[in-house]
Amino acid sequence: MEPQVSKTLGDVCVLGFGQTALSVCTYLMAQGPSRVHSVTLFGGAQTHEGEKCAEFEALGVHVVTGTDEVCGTYSLCIASPGVPDTSALFLSAAAHSQEIIGEPEFAFRESPEKWIAITGTNGKTTTTTLVTKILQTAGQKAISVGNIGRTITDELSSRTPDEWFVAELSSFQLATIARLHPKTAALLNITPDHLEWHGTLAAYAAAKERIFENFDIHDLAVVSDLDEYCRACAQRLEARHIRVCHLNTEDPKTEHAAFIRDGVLVVRRSGKETELIRAADLKIHGLHNALNALAASALALEAGVDPVSVRHALLDFEALEHRIEPVREVSGVLYVNDSKATNTDAVEKSLTAFPTRGVVLLLGGHDKGTDLGSLAAAVNRSCKTAICYGAAGPRIAEALEVEKTKQHSDLHVVSAPHMKEAFEAATKRAMAGDVVLLSPACSSFDEFSNMAERGRTFKHYVSELAAQEGVF
């Protein structure tokens, strides 16, 4: 698809040194000198010359490393999501540019038709993938892009006019939007996360809410009723006369709603109800996943998908890798990879997926410094054993023990230095009928390069255990 916004971009500045910056620079350099006069990349103070620098320079990009000071004058600056809008690099670039935006905003300006957007602290990836699945089941072209791992700009040159962009957008990406205006969008939840980047929970929530910034009376916003920040957002949207589909575990009695009634997923639009499937028939487990399915269904119905296609897609949809992903059963114990649960709220939601099993929980990793009170209460209520490992292990173990005393629970709290030892401890304590759940509540960076490496390592441990037990 040729860019729908064909005006000259002039001299462009790009911030960052990772995949997003590379994708943006590749796209810009392909536009030709009549549209893009020059591209200058500022990597930041921690970057230096080397292979990565050479990769950018091979495109024809002028690269500046080792400094947060931007020099020159630019028509446009495009910032990677890893560059906070409060950082010295961002502020310096803003002072030297006519406008500074993020990569999703840039991609939208280049190709603004057929966008659906999803944000929230948890459930974004599942909901985004499911919306894409529903659209495809209905015979429409659709691709999942954004924070889900596929840089939007990479898909611009091959995009066709009839293809949907289903964009998972993080708070980082939303912080720098200006004109981005999807056809419909969802805010799934707001719980504490990334406070080291945003500073406060209120600032984090405000960044998330920007997904609706350009909505008008013709648009539908799908918003959870289940936390105070989302409820406040819905009130503000309705004050702007924007239609809000209230996402809830029970009927909110609103004109537009997505909820569960007598175990059935129901979406109501302008007072007219569409019954979908029983929540128990979903292959993705837990109440939170029923809510994700409802959000995805509401978005797809708003995009014009027929209910039959929605039902078929919901029934077919499998668990995503690293998100409550059943690995296999060994000696009657189910091993589940939930490595994507990098914050406490995600773990609390995951624990609801196993109401009839004893849970042996693996918690730990890089310590974000998050408050552990709510997590400790949930773990003491729901688990038989918690094995705490890694850099955050001691602090988590201490919080669990304090809560154990308050609740007088029977939780066994075990400490281990690394995930390998934690896994071995779990296998010794789990009995037939139990679930061993890797749901760490932490990022992975103390031991692994990312959460996917952590999850695949866990699955490798399970495979080794199965071989030892003679399970093939």
Q: Does the pLDDT of residue 472 top 70, yes or no?
A: no
pLDDT tens, residue by residue, 396-443: 999 999 999 999 999 999 999 999 999 999 999 999 889 999 999 999
126 marked ligand binding residue: yes
Q: Which domains does the chain have, with CATH numbers?
A: 10-103 (3.40.50.720), 111-316 (3.40.1190.10), 325-470 (3.90.190.20)
DSSP SS3 for 135: helix
pTM, two decimals, is 0.77
Q: What's the full length of the chain, in residues?
A: 472
Position 192 scores a pLDDT of: 64
Which residue type does 107 have?
A
Closest CA to 451 of 344, 370, 347, 340: 340
Q: Is the dihedral of CA 296, 298, 299, 302 positive or negative?
A: positive
| Range from 191-205, 279-293, 355-369 carrying the lowest mean pLDDT | 191-205
pLDDT at position 202 is: 87
| The dihedral sign for the CA sequence 368, 371, 373, 375 | negative
What does the pLDDT average to over 14-30? 94
Asked if residue 1 has pLDDT above 50, the reply is no
Helices (H) and strands (E) in the chain, counts: 16, 20
Residue 113 has pLDDT above 90, yes or no: yes
Residue 3's pLDDT is 41
Residues contacting residue 170 through CB under 8 Å, at least 6 positions apart:
81, 119, 124, 146, 147
Return the pLDDT at 2.
Answer: 40
20 is in an annotated binding site: no
Task: List the 184-187 sheet strands across, edge first.
Answer: 141-146, 163-168, 115-119, 184-187, 220-224, 243-247, 257-261, 264-269, 272-278
At residue 80, the pLDDT reads 92
CB 388 within 8 A of CB 412: no
Q: What is the pLDDT of residue 199?
A: 64
Q: 127 falls in which pLDDT band (50, 70, 90)?
A: very high
Q: Report how far Cα 462 is from the mean position of its chain's Cα atoms.
A: 26
Residue 120 assigned as binding residue? yes
Q: What is the mean pLDDT of residues 439-450?
A: 92
Q: What pLDDT does residue 196 have?
A: 55
∠ Cα 184 187 188 (to 5°)? 125
- What is the pLDDT confidence band of residue 471, given thresholds at 50, 70 and 90? low
77-83: average pLDDT: 92
Cα 406–chain centre separation: 34
Q: Is 124 annotated as a binding residue?
A: yes
* Strands 257-261 vs 264-269: parallel, antiparallel or unpaired: antiparallel
- Alpha-carbon distance of 68 to 64, in angstroms, equals 9
Q: Over the stretch 243-267, which tens digit does the pLDDT of each residue have?
A: 999 999 999 999 999 999 999 999 9
Residue 192 DSSP code: S
pLDDT tens sequence across 163-219 = 999 999 988 899 889 999 999 999 999 976 555 555 688 888 999 999 999 999 999
DSSP strands (E only) in 230-331: 243-247, 257-261, 264-269, 272-278, 325-330
Q: Which residue has the tokens 């066709």?
A: 160
Residue 132, annotated ligand binder?
A: no
Q: Which amino acid is at 472?
A: F
pLDDT range class, residue 349, cuts 50, 70, 90: confident
Residue-wise pLDDT for 318-333, tens only, equals: 877 888 888 888 888 8
Q: Is 358 labeled as ligand-binding? A: no
Q: What is the overall mean pLDDT for the chain?
A: 92
- 344 close to 375: Cβ distance less than 8 angstroms: yes
- Structure confidence at residue 206 (pLDDT): 92
Q: What is the DSSP string of 367-407?
A: ------HHHHHHHHHH-SEEEEESTTHHHHHHHHHHHHHHH
Q: Is 123 annotated as a binding residue?
A: yes
Tokens matching residue 462: 């399970």
**Per DSSP, what are the bridge partners of residue 142?**
164
